[in-house]
Amino acid sequence: MPDPIAVWHAEHEYFGRLLKVLESQVAVFHGGEQPNYELMRDIVFYLRKFSDQVHHPREDAAFAILARREPASQLEINRLLQEHRVIAHAGEALLVLLEEIVGGAFVPRAQVESAASTYLVYYRNHIASEERQILPRAGELLGAQDWKAVADAAPLLHDPLFGGDPQERFRELRREISRESPRPQ
């Protein structure tokens, strides 16, 4: 079984790479140029699918175990649980805007830019908090049985973007990610 903390960390790295591509598109947008809206939409779509439906539910399960073993971590964990809900809402709102634009609707520039920037800042802070305060503690306090319960909380059969043979709609995004930042070692 692969080291669950290493897998957890690797997922954060993948999300970081997606956020970096999203950020570069927001910068294009900010510079008055036309960004690749389809690419932006696919990034947020993927994060809504994978992160909100697999990564976060698994974290929620890990957090619950951690809070039982270390009650002092409960406050921090409550904050992170709340952030999962905020990220899901902010992601959905941004996805709706991007879908509208891709579909040809007019959306005010400031509205898209602010939704995307808020999402970026919020997401990055969230990942940084988990990396700093949760992963090291979980590595110490969770055992093999716990990790099985965490994985079972949200089964994933195939990652449509980062797994082998990415889905058709994610091929361009996958190429873009390789260009932006080579695969982490």
Question: Which residues are at the interface with Fe ion (CB under 5 A)?
Answer: 59, 130
Q: Which is nearer to Fe ion, 14 or 29 (CB)?
A: 14
Contact 153, 27 (CB under 8 A): no
With 0-12 / 13-18 / 19 or more C-beta atoms within 10 angstroms meaning exposed / middle / buried, residue 59 is buried
Q: Which is nearer to Fe ion, 59 or 146 (CB)?
A: 59
CB of 100 to Fe ion, least distance (A): 27
Q: Which is nearer to Fe ion, 42 or 130 (CB)?
A: 130
- Residue showing tokens 């509208």: 100
Q: Which is nearer to Fe ion, 132 or 179 (CB)?
A: 132
- Measured at the alpha carbon of residue 172, what is the angle toward residues 84 and 7, in degrees to the nearest 5? 45
Q: Which is nearer to Fe ion, 36 or 133 (CB)?
A: 133
CB of 153 to Fe ion, least distance (A): 13
DSSP state of 54: I
In residues, how long is the chain?
185
Residue 130, both tokens: 């988990």
Q: Which is nearer to Fe ion, 29 or 50 (CB)?
A: 50
CB of 39 to Fe ion, least distance (A): 23
Listed in sequence order, the DSSP H helices in the chain are: 4-30, 37-46, 56-69, 74-102, 109-129, 135-141, 144-152, 171-180
Q: How far is the C-alpha of 144 from the C-alpha of 43, rounded, in Å?
A: 32
CB of 168 to Fe ion, least distance (A): 27
CB of 114 to Fe ion, least distance (A): 23
Q: Who contacts 82 (Cβ-Cβ below 8 Å, separation ≥6)?
A: none
CB of 12 to Fe ion, least distance (A): 6
